[in-house]
Amino acid sequence: MTHLTAPTSQKTSMSTSSVFSQSPDYPIKQFRLAFSNWYTQSQGQESPEKAGETELLVEASILVDGEVIGRITFDGKSQVAIRPGQNSWSDPFPVPNWQRKHFEVRTFSKVQEGSAKVTSYRVKSSGDSGGLGVHYSSSIETHQSLLAGAPLNNNGYSSFRHYFGPSAMVTDGWDGRDVVLIVGDSIGFGDYFGRSFVTQGLSLMPTRTPFINLSVQGTRPSDQSSKERGAFAFKSGLIDDVTDMNGGTPGFTQILSQHGANDAHAKDGQRLFGKLKVFWKFLNNQWPEIPITQTTLTPKTKKNSRWYQSRLSQQSSFSPPGSDRWQLEDRLHPLPKELHSIINLREAWTGSKNGWRWRELSCNAKLQGPVSRGEQALQVSSPLPEGAKLVIAPGTDSAEATYGDVINITSTPTSYLVELSSPLKSDHEKGTDVFCTMSRDGTHPTGSYALSFGAEVINQWRHQYLKLNSNTQDVL
């Protein structure tokens, strides 16, 4: 770790950003933060992990409820220069017995002008975006905990591209429960089309299971099966840091793999299975004492441009019986020696043990009046569930799959008023059909309502295989 100011011979660009998170369910008295000068590309590139282009200069302050309560230091100094591809850990920061305490880390950073800025996705905490869960992990030996609130990369919506902040947090006070490391692609991460059903399942009340989510959009098991640079090196390095701090024990007790979809493209199930076996062996070699669970894969259907997967009769599939996605399911029986358990999601996604298209949801209505672009409320003829994602006029040239979810529904004497979390993009006439959709794009499960099918399967696995802390007090 090198402490210096930015070189005067080079022009630097300074930015300020805030990352919001919260401490674990159990009381803690101190924590340390990691700041990273690397990221992971998310568009399916080979060798997706990348180091920052130039040295990154950081100074950071923690704020709670808008008041600065202390400054993060590195070996007693406020500033730290992080070399490309490296992590810098802060000094221990004392806190007054925090338990699920929301806090903000405000980071001031400088990079050389003209270089690419390493950014980080906004850290999510339980209660954020509908209560996604506690994004932290734990270690057994020294009772410390790793908080990785989102994938350690520059993924995320465009509005968050400028965020930079801590990528991990280590605390004391771990209470002994299981902790899950999630590895996967956009479906494990939760992308533009919805949240991760894996994280939702782990977050279900009244108890929840903590997790680290290292899923990265666009990645394949075949490009994550190595500790070489460009593959899993930087993510492994961060876990290695925590392992060193914890006396040789990593910050998690279970691994849940949702990987595989981006290596599934045809009808060669043996090839897909072989790539996953290489990935599982890599995980076993890295963490030989940690059990691994693999999920089966989602359907993949064509995005017929105005159909949006809302009706079974409208779906034309890339994943019919015999596709590699469904062949994989057969090859997981008997259980491969590399795995501890599997999670079969076919019935959750399709509604049938032998289904191969997205489930048709039993909610439909008609618009009771015209709506215009920009509006966020609809008058409909029948009630629609909160959390649903809507398709208006499916199968027509004016079809629209809403980006927002249903956030409120109110009964009126003649109809139901449905409020959406984001505005409509188009105009629609009175009498137009309104449906709910399981997948907005034919690949990703979407919306809180649809994701509940997959989340419930994850929850069942959680109760069967994991230690749950029934004494945890939920304070949301």
pLDDT at residue 132, as a whole number: 25
Average pLDDT, the chain: 80
- Which among 21, 155, 32 is positioned nearest to 101, based on CA atoms? 21
- Which among 218, 231, 292 is positioned nearest to 261, based on CA atoms? 218
pLDDT at residue 202, as a whole number: 87
Q: What sign has the CA pseudo-torsion 426, 431, 432, 435?
A: positive
pLDDT at residue 230, as a whole number: 87
CA dist., res. 132 & res. 199, Å (int): 7
Q: Average pLDDT in the 137-155 region?
A: 28
pLDDT at residue 69, as a whole number: 80
Provide the percentage of residues in the chain whose pLDDT is more than 90.
37
63: which 2 tokens? Answer: 């704020």
Structure-model confidence comparison of residues 196 and 91, the more confident one? 91
Q: Average pLDDT in the 25-32 region?
A: 85
Provide the percentage of residues in the chain whose pLDDT is more than 70.
82
Range in 29-33, 202-206, 221-225, 449-453 with the lowest mean pLDDT? 202-206
DSSP secondary structure, 306-317, as one string: TTTT-SGGG--B
| Secondary structure of residue 212 in the 3-state scheme | strand
In this model, does residue 123 exceed pLDDT 90?
A: no
pLDDT at residue 7, as a whole number: 38
CA dist., res. 137 & res. 144, Å (int): 9
CB 374 within 8 A of CB 423: yes
In this model, does residue 399 exceed pLDDT 80?
A: yes
pLDDT at residue 31, as a whole number: 87
Q: Is 423 exposed, middle or buried (0-12, 13-18, 19+ CB in 10 A)?
A: middle
Residue type, 151: P
Residue type, 34: A
In this model, does residue 438 exceed pLDDT 60?
A: yes
pLDDT at residue 115, as a whole number: 57
Q: Average pLDDT in the 356-364 region?
A: 89
CB 302 within 8 A of CB 353: no
| Secondary structure of residue 89 in the 3-state scheme | strand
pLDDT at residue 117, as a whole number: 55
Which band of pLDDT confidence, cut at 50, 70 and 90, is reported for residue 10?
A: low
Q: What is the pTM of this model?
A: 0.86
CA dist., res. 113 & res. 14, Å (int): 9
DSSP secondary structure, 398-447, as one string: T-EEEEEEEEEEEE-SSSEEEEESS--SS-B-TT-EEEE-S-SSSSS--H
